[in-house]
Structure 1
Amino acid sequence: MSTQVLRSDPASISFSSSSHLEVSSPQTRHALEIAARHLTELHPVVFPTETVYGLGALALNPSAASQIFSVKGRPPDNPLIVHVSSHDMLRSMLPSNFTIPKSYRALMKHFWPGPLTLLFPSDPSIVPSIITAGQSTVGIRMPSHPVARALITLTNAPIAAPSANSSGKPSPTAAEHVVRDLGDKVPVILDGGPCGVGLESTVIDGLSSDNTIRVLRPGGVTVEDIERALKEEAENGDSIPRVLVHRRDFRDAQLEASPTTPGMKYRHYSPSVPVTLLMTLSSPPEGVSSINANSYLSSLQNSIAKVGSTLKIGLLFLSDSRLGRLALPESSRLQWHRYDMGPSADPSVAARRLFDGLLTLDAEGVDMILIEEVVEKDEGLAIMNRAQKAAGELQWISF
């Protein structure tokens, strides 16, 4: 299959109302129409969102949705998130007797369109089981990226879209990432430039009756953002829902065995080379020792004999951290490939750069990648969620 990479200018797209689309660029309009036609003909296409690039297909057509799994090599028990372009489209997917909870209305007011996925009850007569992996809920979000919203609007149908990468690999945040990975497996890639958030959407479940919001996957909307929005929208006498983060605040073995949302069961975000997460901030668990940073980095030279030539090491670091400022050991057979994730005070920069860093270093042919730990606050929680899933090893470091 020959893939068309079609430039789509987000700045040329606007919505004069919630669903009335206007596109000032003829080139972009043509690209969107080509992609929409492929979708309606049941072919998958790649498009940008504010989080990562998505591999899209008609969500309510099982034949179309099945192609997502074959292109990605995705396990069938890994559910898909559905993208909508309007509240009317959302309502068309929900059971007729379902009332949207007040907490959801508050979060939708603040974060839709945007990188927030909400779990809703799934009506199997509307949503195919291939989308939900047989679960009773379906994850739905309304993307804020103009190209994504325009494509859904033109197609006039909900679009299921996981990240546009081979299953288990880092998610793409630029069109060139998709080209390198999926190659000619899709007919169309809409190139809308780099993604602004760089990590997948936050997924929450607020359907329980215990007045909690459970964060199943941290992402582009932070826990702090969610808590502020719920507090702001609370009326006098309202009990503000507690926000609980999976694996930090609660565990659910049944949920992990049969996940209701992507990213919970399988290893994700891993490039083709080994990844080690350097724990430079937290204390090691009991029985585990830390190693001095200089000693650890120098010890990596012992791996040269294993590769038989120059050892190429990729390092994702924070620009103002002690590790980032550390002088790296030099050797004629040791080559460092550094990738700056930005300042520690602004984790949104590191969130935007994490996947690009992994994919860039992988493309540069490094033999291993080291990722520096970040504080699990704001976007840092989502960064560490992805870094821990990408890493095959954790190493505690002291200075």
Structure 2
Amino acid sequence: MAAGWYATALLLPRLRRCVSTMPCQLLRCDPASITFNASGEPNFTADATRDALSIASHHLVALKRPVVFPTETVYGLGALALDGTAASLIFSTKGRPADNPLIVHVSSMSMLRSILPPDYTLSKTYEALIKHFWPGPLTMLFPRHADIIPNIITAGQSTIAVRMPSHPVARALIAVANAPLAAPSANSSGKPSPTRAEHVHRDLGDKVDIILDGGPCGVGLESTVVDGLGADGHLRVLRPGGVTVEDLQRTLHQELHASGDMPRVLVHRRDYRDDAMELAPTTPGMKYKHYSPSVPVVLVHTLTSPPEGMQLQTAASLVSSLRDRFPDRPVHIGLMTPDDSRLAQLLHGHEGVSWRLFPLGKVTQPAVIAQRLFDGFLTLDREGVDVILIEGVAEVDEGLAIMNRVRKAAGEAAWVSL
């Protein structure tokens, strides 16, 4: 099996040349027209939405072609998770490295059980998390069923990352296709994740056949990925995302405190390090540079002191240093900052500099900032700014996931006094 996965990886450059050149269909779906019965089967009140999902399902199952669909986190590029050839088109379409594993999406608990080893039993921790956060933006690592999960999905790892999306269009598509779907974000590898159908169309519109437009994504950041398979019983957060660490801690305390089986919630790189896993990651977003627009991004820290060797700047000195990079013409700077921050006021007013402000929402509403983050990167990039400044936020609640993404997107950082 491992040799087969490696052979498929070698074919990816060739597969990339075979990506469809057919016109892309943008099919509108109404999430409000979809409901689910107790078994997780979808019901539709809008014929157009039902028809769009039927077309997408046909492409997935009969044609073995990838399809773009909305989730509550970001738009995903999906293909059959149990078909290695179909899944390989995800990598060729995105230009994704073959050693970067994929997340598998299911629509029901019965579908989850069908892809796990028959002798595997859910732990109390996982039962609590599924009860509170599925369907939703939480991905969990499970043992891989080697007989049915292709190696290309897990990049040869012994675990598989699975989640059940809460977006009605995503969950209904999986149910109509009656097959689990592997689906990373629907963008060129390394670029900001799309949160609107138009983001996908501008980026991959000439490489995909179907984009299901279900409106803007509600969360705006990828799912939280956790690993509860360790022998010590603790829950490790491999990637912060749509479910906060505080949410996880509250839920586990509520569900497990009385039993005495209270696991700790440990955040990778904050509470522990695992160099071996970073070299051979079990989940996306750990090894490669991600979320970067085509123009430079500077992370502006205003809440913390600079580390040793870095200087605390004034806003004026930061703008001057950026202005000096473009001595022969005016510089156009994009600024992403909370609505109630003083940074925008301090930065404005310099000769030879024009500004494009993209407000992120209030400091007290990190969920709104998370929802707007990737849209801001993509909007400013499309408008042709020379550089993007983004102000850092406190790493609590959704702020932890926001700063995880911003650090991966930014090529440099500055510390500015307000």
User: What interval of TM-score do these two structures reach, taking the shorter chain for normalisation?
Assistant: over 0.9
Q: Is the 8 A contact 2:99 2:280 kept in 1?
A: yes
The question of 1:316 aligning with 2:336 is answered: yes
Matching residue of 2:262 = 240
Matching residue of 1:172 = 194
Aligned residue among 352, 371, 389 for 1:370: 389
- Give how far 1:321 is off: 1.4
- Give how far 1:335 is off: 1.4
Distance 1:303 1:398 in 2: 22
Matching residue of 1:394 = 413
SS at match of 1:215: strand
Q: Is the 8 A contact 2:70 2:170 kept in 1?
A: yes
Matching residue of 2:45 = 24
Q: Is the 8 A contact 2:225 2:238 kept in 1?
A: yes
- Give how far 1:192 is off: 0.2
Aligned residue among 183, 191, 197 for 2:213: 191
Q: Give deviations 1:309-363, integer Å, cap 9, x for gaps.
A: 33111110011112144351332x3211110000001100100000000000000
Code of the residue aligned with 1:63 in structure 2: it is T
Matching residue of 2:36 = 15
Matching residue of 1:56 = 78
Distance 2:313 2:217 in 1: 36
Matching residue of 2:297 = 275
Q: Give deviations 1:79-105, integer Å, cap 9, x for gaps.
A: 000000000000000001111111000
- Give how far 1:397 is off: 1.1
Distance 1:156 1:260 in 2: 26
Code of the residue aligned with 1:321 in structure 2: it is S
The question of 1:95 aligning with 2:117 is answered: yes
Distance 2:191 2:257 in 1: 44
Distance 1:259 1:373 in 2: 26
Matching residue of 1:295 = 317
Q: Is the 8 A contact 2:140 2:163 kept in 1?
A: yes
Aligned residue among 247, 269, 272 for 1:225: 247
Q: Give deviations 1:207-254, integer Å, cap 9, x for gaps.
A: 012121000000000000000010111152423110000000000000
Code of the residue aligned with 1:319 in structure 2: it is D
Matching residue of 2:138 = 116
SS at match of 2:308: coil
Q: Give deviations 1:267-318, integer Å, cap 9, x for gaps.
A: 000000111100111111122211112221233221221xx43311111001
SS at match of 1:120: strand
Matching residue of 1:36 = 57
Equivalenced residue count is: 396
SS at match of 1:304: coil
Distance 2:354 2:258 in 1: 61
Identity over aligned residues, as a percent?
64
SS at match of 1:57: strand
Matching residue of 1:328 = 348
Distance 1:316 1:38 in 2: 38
Distance 1:376 1:136 in 2: 32
- Give how far 1:16 is off: 2.1
Q: Is the 8 A contact 1:318 1:324 kept in 2?
A: no
Distance 1:325 1:128 in 2: 53
Distance 2:346 2:52 in 1: 47
Matching residue of 1:156 = 178
Q: Is the 8 A contact 2:315 2:347 kept in 1?
A: no
What 5-or-longer segments of structure 2 have no aligned partner? 1-21
**CA-atom RMSD in angstroms:** 1.0
- Give how far 1:126 is off: 1.1
Q: Is the 8 A contact 1:77 1:133 kept in 2?
A: yes
Matching residue of 1:339 = 358
What 5-or-longer segments of structure 1 have no aligned partner? none
